[in-house]
Amino acid sequence: MTRVKRGSVARKRRNKIIEMASGAIGSHSKLFRTANQQRVKAFFNAYQDRRNRKREIRRLWITRISAALRQNDMNYSNFINYLYTNQICLNRKMLGQMVVLDTDSFSTIIQGIRTKAD
């Protein structure tokens, strides 16, 4: 059987990995082994952060809603409870956008809930 030299194929693979790690500092972007480690770590962090971003955005919506409710003398947990009991189908994303873009309609929702609660 003839010998197969993998020089060009291996070099292309290594260069591709080094190119992926091009933003890293020092030898992490120059040497293959450390660049490969950086690439694996970066992919793992990217995977985790795609999930963490969803959590952080939901926390932001809840914080915005809570801040707007405190200005109207209401509690976040009571507000969400009133929404469920009155079968108002607005999720936290919609409510968070309302707080930022249309505060008048948000305050009318609060007033409507208050009248039903009393």
Render pLDDT for 23-61 as a digit per residue (tens, 0 to 9). 999 999 999 999 999 999 999 999 999 999 999 999 999
Sign of torsion, CA 91 94 100 103?
A: negative
Q: Is 25 helix (H, G, I), strand (E, B) or coil?
A: coil
Q: For residue 23, give the DSSP letter.
A: T
Ranges of each domain in the chain: 9-117
* Mean of all residue pLDDT scores within the chain: 93
Distance (Å, whole) CA 15 – CA 9: 10
**Cα Dmax for the chain:** 89
Q: Give the pLDDT confidence score for residue 118 in this predicted structure.
A: 65
- CATH architecture for residues 9-117: Orthogonal Bundle (1.10)
Kindly state the average pLDDT of the residues 69-82. 92
